[in-house]
Amino acid sequence: MNRLNELFKNKKSPILSIYFTAGYPDLNSTLDIAEALENGGADFIEIGFPYSDPVADGPVIQASSQVALKNGMTLPILFEQLKDLRKRVSIPVLLMGYVNPVLQYGVENFCNKAAEVGVDGIIVPDLPMYEYESLYKDCFLGNKLSNIFLVTPQTSEERIRKIDGLSNGFIYLLSSSSTTGKDLKVSNEADSYFQRIRDMNLQNPTMIGFGISDQKSFNKAAEYTRGAIVGSAFVKLLGTENALDRVGEFLKMIRG
């Protein structure tokens, strides 16, 4: 059991997770942001490692990735920064990014290093289930890393069952089929999708992400799942002046 599993086991109220891109707005802001998020009341965090071609992301996270790469962020530098992670941050931490930087770093190295610095889980949206299962699962599980899969309104029930069987943290429900940073559509369609997933009684807890930016969308997510993940809205905040001073205020605005 890792920190993430403990959180889902013990926490009763809705869970709030925040995503940010490592290396944005400054190369060395990673741990300061993580610490500010913990102090502000985030339940867990997702640290994005930037990629040049982030096809699942909307304009906000794309732009933050470009700035991070320009600032010189790489996986080796990120792991160097994360050496002090567990001196400063106690909540669960996930790494999120695209598969190619992981392949170049070496999947095994990546998992070992992530475990070594105290990371609890990995989200790689373009790592296919077949490749994960046949090549990388043992490496993840051996390092007590939760691999987080995504599910969309179009994902079939059969596939969701399979994902549930392969998951060991939570399942990341996309609010709609979209890239990051669009507003959650509070529609009957979304409601019936969330309801459908809830009625499946999956083994793993679920969280909703993509399009969560305020109290209204957070409450909507928490109505059906264990909580929600905020990405673009927070990255937008990081692009403003004295952002770190306003992290607590931002989290309160989301949670209400």
Partner 1 sequence: MNREFIKSSVNWGVNDKGYYGDFGGAYIPEMLYPNVEELRTKYLDIIYDPSFQESFHKLLKDYVGRPSPLFLAGRLSEKYGARIFLKREDLNHTGAHKINNTVGQILLAQRLGKKRIIAETGAGQHGVATATVCALMGLECVVYMGEIDIQRQAPNVARMKMMGATVVPATSGSKTLKDATNEAMRDWINNPVDTHYIIGSVVGPHPYPDMVARFQAIISEETKAQLKEQTGSENPNIVMACVGGGSNAIGMFYHFLDDEDVRLIAIEAAGLGVESGESAATTALGKEGVLHGSRSILMQTNDGQVVEPYSISAGLDYPGIGPQHAHLFKTGRGEYVSATDDEAMDAGRLLAELEGIIPAIESAHALAHLDKMKFKGNETVVICLSGRGDKDLDNYMKHFNL
**Residues involved in catalysis:** 46, 57
Q: State the first-to-last Cα distance of the chain, in angstroms, to the nearest integer.
A: 31
Question: Please, what is the minimum distance in Å from the beta carbon of residue 71 to partner 1?
Answer: 13
Could you list the residues that contact partner 1 (CB under 8 A)? 51-56, 58-59, 62, 66, 69, 74-76, 98-105, 125-128, 130-131, 149-152, 154-156, 159, 174, 177-179, 182
CB of 156 to partner 1, least distance (A): 8
* Overall size of the chain counted in residues: 256
- The strand pair at 93-96 and 44-48 is best described as parallel
d(CA 145, CA 118): 10
Burial of 209-239, coded b for 16+ CB within 10 Å and e otherwise, reads bbbbbeeebbebbbebbbbbbbbbbbbbbbe
**AA identity, residue 94:** L
Least distance in angstroms from the C-beta of 53 to partner 1: 5
Calculate the CA 47 to chain-centre distance: 7
Q: Which residue number, 59 or 256, has a Cβ lying nearer to partner 1?
A: 59
* Closer by beta carbon to partner 1, 182 or else 246: 182
CB of 43 to partner 1, least distance (A): 23
Q: Considering only CA atoms, give the Rg of the chain.
A: 17
Q: Which two tokens stand for residue 149?
A: 């899969």
Rounded CA separation 199/161 (Å): 12
Cβ distance to partner 1 smaller for residue 34 or 123: 123
* CB 31 to partner 1: min, Å: 20
- Contact in structure between 225 and 236 (CB atoms under 8 Å): no
Residue closer to partner 1 (CB basis): 42 or 94: 94
Question: Among residues 130 and 201, whose Cβ is nearest to partner 1?
Answer: 130
